[in-house]
Structure 1
Amino acid sequence: DCPHHRAIPAGVPLQGTELAVQTNPEAGLERLVPLVDYLAAWKLLPNVSAWVLHTVERGYHIQFGAPPPPFSGVFPTLVGPEQGLVMEQEVETLLRKEAIEVVPPQDRESGFYSRYFIVLKKDGGLRPILDLRQLNRSVMRLKFKMLTVNQVVSQIRSEDWFVTIDLKEAYFHVSILPQHRKFLRFAFRGKAYQYRVLPFGLALSPPHFHE
C-alpha cells in the first residue's frame, strides 16, 4: 500500500461531481460546494501547507501590497437594454450558486465597488466581466509561471498515461474571508452585491488557486 494512503472518514462524500456541485432536482439549480465542506478530507492529505488548510477553513485572505482602497462611492453598473438582460441573468446565476450575496443596506456605504462591463464572445454572445483593475493596483504582485506545452512534452515517456481534469468554475470553490468580501462589491439596478468566493479577474486568483 502507498504509505500516504489513508481512509476518508465516514460522512465525507467523494463521489465524482459531488465535489463540485449540489443539484436541486426540483428547481434545476446548482450550488457550488465550497472546499470547506470537505475540510476533513483535506486534513488527511499529505504535504498540505498550513496556509492552504487555513484558506480552506477560514476563506481566502486578500493579500494587499498597499493599503486597501478606501470607499469612494457606490458605482452602479450602467448598461443598455440588451446588456441589462445579460447582467440580470448573470446576477441571478451567481446568487443561485451562492457565489455572491446581497450587501445589507446598513453596510452599503463602505468597502470597495467595481463595475461590470460586457464583452462580445467569439460566438456572438455577450459575457459580463467584473472590472477589478483598480483593486488589482493595491494587491501584491506575485510571480506565477505556468508550464508550457513544450515543457510538458519534454517529460513524456513511452507508454505514459494521461488524465484530464476539467474543474468547472474552479475559483468559485474557494471562499473569501468574510471580512474581505467588502472589497469585491458591485452594484446593479439599485442593489449592492459582494463576492463570497474567489472571483475571476482578481490578479491573485491564478497563483493562489494553483498553490
Structure 2
Amino acid sequence: MDYYDWDLPPPVVPVHPTPVGGRLEIFWANWTFLEDPFVCKILRAGYKLPLARAPPLTTTPRSRVYSIDQQVLILENINILLTKHAIEIVSEPHHSPGFYSPIFLIPKKGSTKMRMIHNMASFNNLYLAEPPHFRMTSLDQIRAKLSPGAWMASLDLQDAYLHVPVFPRHRKFLRFIFNGGPSRSMAEDSRALSLPLTLREWQSLLGLLTSAQDLTLRGRLMLRPLQRFLLPFIRENDLQSSFLLPPHLHQYLRWWTVEWNVCAGVCLTSFNHNHELFVDASLLGWGAHLNGQTTSGLWSDAEREWHINNLEMQAVILAVRHWLPVLTNSRLLVASDNSTVVWVIHNQGTTRSKQLLDQMFLLADLVDSNGIVIAARHIPGCKNILADALSRPGKPSPTEWMLHPDAFRQICWQLGRPLVDLFATSFNHQLPTYVSPVPDPQAWAVDAMSLSWEGLDAYAFPPPILLSDCVENRKYGSSDNSDYRVSKCCDANVQKDDIG
C-alpha cells in the first residue's frame, strides 16, 4: 500500500489564536499556495453578496415582540456571537440605513436547548441572484472509487461558515434588530389599546382577525381570551356601549401586530403524523403509551377536585412533557377517548372553560417551542384499554367485560376446558393462563390481536367492538388441525342475564 503526504509550505502569516468571526481574513496570504484567485479574493476582501437587485434600506426597523424567556435566550445567543466576533453592534443605526431580517428560536437538533436563527429567506429569494447549480458528490460515488484497504475520514469544522469574512459594504444587508424590551411600536400599540371602543367596533375588529386566524399558527388561540371577555357584552347586545380592554388582555391583541406571527404561514397539506400518543385519565391518575412505552402517574389531592375534562387535558400535557426528547421536531397525533379534549386541541382552546383554555396555552407553548406539530383524534374508550388501565392503578377498568363464572363453567362442561383466556386481565381472567391487553407480569402474553391463534386451544370473550376482528382473525388464521373454542352464548344455552 502506498501512502502519500502533502507537504505544506510554511505559513506566510504565523498561525495564532483569534476569534472565529472572519478569521480567515487574517491568514489569507497562507492560502496563496493554492493558486486560486477566487478563494484568495474572498479571503482578502470578504465575500460579496451576488445581488440581483438593490434591497430597500431603512433606518427605522420594527422589532418583534418576544416573551421574557425568549429575550433571555436570544440575548445569550447574541452575546456568544459577539464574543466570537461573528456579529458587530451598529453604533448609529438611525444614521446608517440597512436591510433587517427577523430572528427567532428553534430547538437544537437532538437537544431541548434553543438556538437563534437569522431568517434571511425573504432576502435570499427577492434580492439575490440565483446560485449556480451544482451536484454534490455522493458517498456512493466516492466509495466506488476506493480500492480495497483504503480508509475514509470525516472532518467537522466547528462554526465553519463564520470563518469567512463578509465584504464590509455588504454587511448592512445582513442586519437584525433586538431591543431586549418593548420597542417603540409596542408603546404606540399600548396607547391605542387604552382607548375605549364600542361593542360594534370590537366585534368588527375580532371579525377581521377571525377571518385570518386559520392562516396563522396560533391566531385562533390568541382570540379565545378576547372572545371570552366580550361574551357578557354580546349577551347584553348593546352595540353602542363602549368599554376598555383590560391590560392583561393587551398581549393577545398585540400578538397580531407582530409580522412573524401573521405572515409566517401554515402548512396546507394533509396532516401525516409520525408519532401517535394514546392518553387517558381517571379520578385517580393518568396513563399514556407511545411507541410501545408507557408512563403514568397519580393526581394530587388538589387535582382530584378538578373536572374530568381538565384531568384528561392535563394527562396530555404530562405525557408530551414526559416524551419530549422523542417528540421534538415531529408530527404528533394525540388519541383520547375524551371528546372535549380532542375538540379543544383541534380548535385551539375554548371560551367555556378558563382552566381548559389555560391548559391549551400551556400545551401550545410546549409543542411550539419544541418544533412539534400536534393534532388530535377521538378513540372509543373500549379501544383505549392500555391507557385506561394505566390511569386506574390497582383497579379494574370499566371496559373489562367478562362472562359470569357460572356461565363459563357451563360452557367448559359442554365444550371442554380451554388452555388460554385470550381477552382478560389480572382482575377478570377465567383461566390461569391468559393474554392481557396491558403489560402484566402474570400474563402469558400481551395483546391477543397481535398473536397467531393457529393451533391454540383458547377461549375468547372480547369487547363487542372487537368481535368482527376476532371473527376475521379466526377465519384467515385457522387450519384443518386447529382447535378453536370461541364462546357463543346461544350454543351453550346461556341467557343474557348470565353476562357479568
**TM tier, smaller:** 0.7 to 0.9
Seen in structure 2, the aligned counterparts of structure 1 residues 10 and 123 have a Cα distance that, compared at 3 Å, is: closer
Residue 140 (1) aligns with residue 129 (2): yes
Match of 1:69 in 2: 55
Q: Which amino acid aligns with 1:147?
A: T
Structure 1 residue 190, shift from structure 2 partner: 6.5
Structure 1 runs not aligned, ≥5 long: 23-30, 192-211
The one of 12, 20, 36 equivalent to 1:32 is 20
Q: Which amino acid aligns with 2:171?
A: R
Structure 1 residue 160, shift from structure 2 partner: 1.2
Q: TM-score, normalised by structure 2?
A: 0.32
More relative contact order, 1 or 2 (CA 8 Å, 6+ apart): 1
Match of 1:8 in 2: 10
Residue 175 (1) aligns with residue 165 (2): yes
* CA RMSD after TM alignment: 2.4
* Preserved contact between residue 62 and residue 180 of structure 1 (Cα < 8 Å): yes
Residue 94 (1) aligns with residue 76 (2): no
2:157 is paired with a residue whose SS is coil
Structure 1 residue 38, shift from structure 2 partner: 1.3
* Preserved contact between residue 46 and residue 166 of structure 2 (Cα < 8 Å): yes
Q: Which amino acid aligns with 1:12?
A: P
Q: For residues 5-27 of structure 1, what are the alpha-carbon distances to aligned partners after superposition, in whole Å with 9 as ceiling and x for unaligned?
A: 563246422xxxx5xx53xxxxx
More helix by share: 2
Q: Which has the larger radius of gyration?
A: 2
Structure 2 runs not aligned, ≥5 long: 182-500
1:32 is paired with a residue whose SS is coil
Q: For residues 121-180 of structure 1, what are the alpha-carbon distances to aligned partners after superposition, in whole Å with 9 as ceiling and x for unaligned?
A: 342221211110111021121223222232222222212132322111111000001000
Percent pairwise identity: 27
Seen in structure 2, the aligned counterparts of structure 1 residues 10 and 71 have a Cα distance that, compared at 3 Å, is: closer
Q: How does 1:41-120 map to 2 (within 5 A)?
A: 41-45=30-34, 47-48=35-36, 50-65=37-52, 67-72=53-58, 73-105=60-92, 109-120=96-107
Seen in structure 2, the aligned counterparts of structure 1 residues 77 and 96 have a Cα distance that, compared at 3 Å, is: farther
Seen in structure 2, the aligned counterparts of structure 1 residues 108 and 82 have a Cα distance that, compared at 3 Å, is: farther
Q: Which amino acid aligns with 1:136?
A: N
* Preserved contact between residue 47 and residue 164 of structure 2 (Cα < 8 Å): yes
* Preserved contact between residue 74 and residue 109 of structure 1 (Cα < 8 Å): no
The one of 177, 189, 195 equivalent to 1:187 is 177
* Preserved contact between residue 71 and residue 180 of structure 2 (Cα < 8 Å): no
Seen in structure 2, the aligned counterparts of structure 1 residues 107 and 53 have a Cα distance that, compared at 3 Å, is: farther
Structure 2 CA distance for aligned equivalents of residues 80 and 105 of structure 1: 26
* Preserved contact between residue 75 and residue 115 of structure 1 (Cα < 8 Å): no
* Preserved contact between residue 101 and residue 120 of structure 2 (Cα < 8 Å): yes
Seen in structure 2, the aligned counterparts of structure 1 residues 161 and 135 have a Cα distance that, compared at 3 Å, is: same
Superposition misfits of 4+ residues, deviation over 6 angstroms: none
Structure 2 CA distance for aligned equivalents of residues 186 and 131 of structure 1: 9
Q: How does 1:123-162 map to 2 (within 5 A)?
A: 123-137=111-125, 138-142=127-131, 143-162=133-152
Q: Which stretch shifts more, 163-172 or 149-158? A: 149-158
